Amino acid sequence: MGTNKTSRLRVGNVIACTLMLLVFVFVMIMYTSADGGSVQKNSCSLEQSEVIPLLSKDFKDSLLAMLVDQNEVEAGPKEEVVFLKRTEMDDYITTYLDDIKFLSYALSVNYEDIIDGLYEEYDKNHEQYGFDENNVGYILNADGTLNSYSNAKYGLVEYIYSYIDKYPKKKTTRRVAYTGKADYVEDLIRYYSSIYTNVDTNLALSIGAAESGYYKVKYMLKAGNVYGGMKGGKLIHYDNIEIGVLSYVRLLSKSYFGKGLKTVQSIGYKYNPIIDENGNKVASPHWVGLVNSAMVHYKKLNNGITASDLLKEK
């Protein structure tokens, strides 16, 4: 509203000034003509007694009144301008928005609910604990101290898991039998390995490839299970490929790499063991061979995949 009033005032002032200028020019022309300048008197000329005063008092008063009318603005309450201080949480949301969107999608929860939850946790806790982007959800240990995560995306994943535990009804069921290409599955592993940084990306890719025929075994893809995880003698089924691959990389991080098992042989001893001819438990030589061959294949590939890339792919 203020902008429209200002525009009308400026237009009114321009019109008033233009009228004054035209009157002034007209009067000067008439004055010069009546005074016998270069303009010859004729039947149309004004007699000197007919000359109009340049600016009579009444005329000036009327112009002044018109200008006052144009510039009068009804008094009213002034609008208060409020400047909001940008918080650390605002900067975090801006920086990691695509990660929030994709990880929320992977875990089947609305990303706007996650953002609202983050702001609630920030408002409730930042005065006491400050702000740490690696634990953006203020997840506490049993003794009340803040948990420590290795990077911002790791802390975000753990927060989304805790949010779902706290608000289970916020989680939707998104069951999708994956029938797409291997590239997307491989990119999921690359991205999740950038979250769980203790996991060797190429080794994670290679174990999955050994188990799922380079991510082409259809029944495993449809189950969202590319690593051969079993429960009760049956292949574990996940709602979708995103959560299935996340579960796989998270498992490697916590139960293998996190416990010092970092080589093909040491992982294979627990992951795919057999009993050799001497009765000893060892990693399956066949499985080890498959993983090693896959590691040669994946060694040359780029591992830099972002949430933005995955949002485009999905």
Q: Does pLDDT of 15 surpass 80?
A: no
Q: Does pLDDT of 209 surpass 80?
A: yes
Alpha carbon 305 to chain centroid, angstroms: 17
pLDDT digits (tens, 9 = 90+) for 278-311: 999 999 999 999 999 999 999 876 678 999 999 9
| Amino acid at the residue 238 | Y
Q: Does pLDDT of 66 surpass 60?
A: no
pLDDT digits (tens, 9 = 90+) for 125-182: 999 999 999 999 999 999 999 999 999 999 999 999 999 999 999 999 899 999 999 9
Banded model confidence at residue 241, pLDDT cuts 50, 70, 90: very high
Mean pLDDT of 217-227: 97
Alpha helices in the chain (DSSP H): 2-34, 57-71, 88-95, 97-106, 111-129, 152-166, 182-195, 201-212, 218-222, 241-251, 264-271, 285-298, 307-313
Residue with tokens 């627990």: 270
Average pLDDT of the chain, as a whole number? 83
As a whole number of Å, the end-to-end CA separation of the chain is: 45
Banded model confidence at residue 9, pLDDT cuts 50, 70, 90: very low
SS3 label, residue 56:
coil
Q: Does pLDDT of 45 surpass 60?
A: no
pLDDT digits (tens, 9 = 90+) for 245-274: 999 999 999 999 999 999 999 999 999 999
pTM exceeds 0.85, yes or no: no
**What does the pLDDT read at residue 7?**
44
**What does the pLDDT read at residue 51?**
40
Length of the chain in terms of residues written: 314
Share of the chain above pLDDT 70, in %: 73
pLDDT digits (tens, 9 = 90+) for 138-153: 999 999 999 999 999 9
Residue 169 CB-density burial (10 A; 0-12 exposed, 13-18 middle, 19+ buried) = exposed
How far, CA to CA in Å, does 7 sit from each of 3, 253, 283?
Answer: 6, 64, 81
Sign of the Cα pseudo-torsion (192, 194, 198, 203, in order) = positive
